Amino acid sequence: MPEAHKIDIRHVAKLARLTLTDEEAKRYESQLNGILTYIDTLTRYDLDGVEPTAHAMPVYDVLRADEPRPGFTQEQALSNAPKRIADQIQIPKVIE
């Protein structure tokens, strides 16, 4: 592992309040080394003038037009309520 990538996995685990076995520590150290090596590969490219993006491809929301349309009357909306008081649905108490 290059010296720049020398990370004390035990210290990182302690900061994260994790208890690692020796096998887990070796595996995580190997995985972290792979990630950092890949990042080194990416830093070799000249990215001047490249705009940062959140997605590789443009993302567009596909939404239908918001057009008014007829809805339920109050009586229709309350017609299937198991219990009602005046013009409201009555539900069981949730918080004591």
What 3-state DSSP class applies to 89?
strand
Give pLDDT, residue 65: 87
Give pLDDT, residue 63: 86
Residue whose entry in the numeric block shows the structure tokens 């096998």:
23
**pTM given for the model:** 0.45
Give pLDDT, residue 55: 84
C-alpha–C-alpha distance, residues 2 and 58, integer Å = 37
Q: Which residues of the chain are under the pLDDT cut of 70?
A: 1-4
Q: Are 89 and 83 in contact (CB under 8 A)?
A: yes
